[in-house]
Amino acid sequence: MRRRIIGSTVIAVVLAIALFGAPLAVVVARYLLDDERTELEREANVVALMLAVELAGDGTITALPDMPGSDPDTDFAFYDDFGRRVVGVGPEVLEHDVMEALVGDIEPGDTAADLVIGAPVADDGTYVGVVRVAAPRTEAYLRIAFVWLLMAALGVFAVGAAWLMARRQGARLARPLEQLAHAAQRLGEGDFSARSPTAGIAEIDGVGAALDSTAQRIGDTLARERAFSADTSHQLRTPLTGLRLGLEAALDVPVERRSVAGLSAVIATAITTTDRLEQIADDLLTLARDTNRGGALLVGALLEQARTEWADVLGAAGRPLRLVVAPDLPVAAAAGAAVRQVLAVLLDNAARHGAGAVTVTARDADDAVAVDVEDEGPGVPDTAEPFVRRSRTAGGHGIGLPLARSLAEAEGGRLLLGRRSPPRFTLLLPIAAEHLQPAEHR
């Protein structure tokens, strides 16, 4: 690209100089020749006047007057009215063209070697002769050659300056494009942090901004996909483990001791767990697509559903699940899928890392609906950062609580650690507007 920019610029400058310089060179040559003729005319007129004065005095011309400052190579001669040389340097017989000066005009009569001018000489109102002034063409041609050489030097300088400017401009244009290509290559290799530098050229900066925006969108999409995979794995791990343990426990019962009622109970439990898995998958897909956000949610009904799902899990470990719902609890403005997953994370953490009874309390917190989840365990260490994703101090996988907080914030709420020991997490949900009607939670 740089070579093309430099080449096209130099060619354009050369063409411009040629198209402008050639006519200018012709004009300069004509101007210099005309200037030389004008000087010869002036000198011829001066000599003619001086000869006219001499003729008026004694009536004869024996010598030509001196012309101080004239070119030594310039020849002066006086011819009578018959064209014969009387005095001076020149041909014996005056050229026919120069003889025309006897009618009273300044007449040129250039030859192959000289520039010639004839001026009439008058005596008592009658033209009696012609002054012939001749200068070699070489002098004028040398002046023309010098000017042409100067013009050529200026042209070469202009081409050189254009080459330097084109080289600089080519580098200024090519460098950001090369950087854009490098950024695009990094983007193609999977480095979505690649960004293009600012070039100061609006068009190139526009392409760079579009490329940066594309890299940002692709990176965000890939991050969401990875987060979704991790979140899905985390949320499905507990029910899948419970389903596996239930089925393995049923298989451990000897065949002779198996009963239809026992198998039916195991199958019913497995179906319930499968429904829960399906519900979790649907919720996560809905949240990943950013659909079904907001809405009116009956928090009490959602907590009853959560107690149905988690009572058996906690009861198997000898830990009761207590639910306390304040009367006249306001309707929350949140999606059931998001709140259900937040509660699932909090209850799963209580089941895995807590101890004793688990208490879920729903209350009116003035401008929000508050849901407290607490247990009787040792709680969260002071050095732990429970809401930092994949934190080494989280005490678990470092996925669940950051996921829960992000879901709560996406619904306009907040998830707080109200107390470290014994632990209490508080979910704050905005209250639905008056015009919203309670809808069944999903």
pLDDT tens-digit profile of 21-71?
899 999 999 999 889 888 888 988 898 888 888 887 777 777 888 877 778
Question: What pTM does this model have?
Answer: 0.46
Position 212 scores a pLDDT of: 81
Q: Give residue 192's pLDDT band: very low, low, confident or very high (50, 70, 90).
A: confident
Whether the per-residue pLDDT at 157 is higher than 90: the answer is: yes
Residues 6+ apart with CB under 8 A from 116: 40, 95, 98, 108, 109, 110, 132, 133, 134
Q: Could you read off the pLDDT of 295-338 as tens digits, one per residue?
A: 788 999 999 988 888 888 888 888 999 999 999 899 999 888 88
Decide: 80 and 92 in contact? Cβ < 8 Å.
no
CATH number of 2-153: 3.30.450.20
Whether the per-residue pLDDT at 252 is higher than 80: the answer is: no
Decide: 331 and 371 in contact? Cβ < 8 Å.
no
Q: Give residue 442's pLDDT band: very low, low, confident or very high (50, 70, 90).
A: very low
With tokens 């600089």, the residue in question is 168
What b/e sequence results for 78-97 when a residue is b if at least 16 CB atoms lie within 10 Å of its CB, and e otherwise? bbeeebebeebebbeebbee
Position 439 scores a pLDDT of: 47
- Domains of the chain, by residue range, sit at 2-153, 193-291, 292-442
CATH number of 193-291: 1.10.287.130
Superfamily of domain 292-442: Histidine kinase-like ATPase, C-terminal domain (3.30.565.10)
Q: Across all residues in the chain, what is the average pLDDT? A: 81
- Measured in residues, the chain has a length of 442
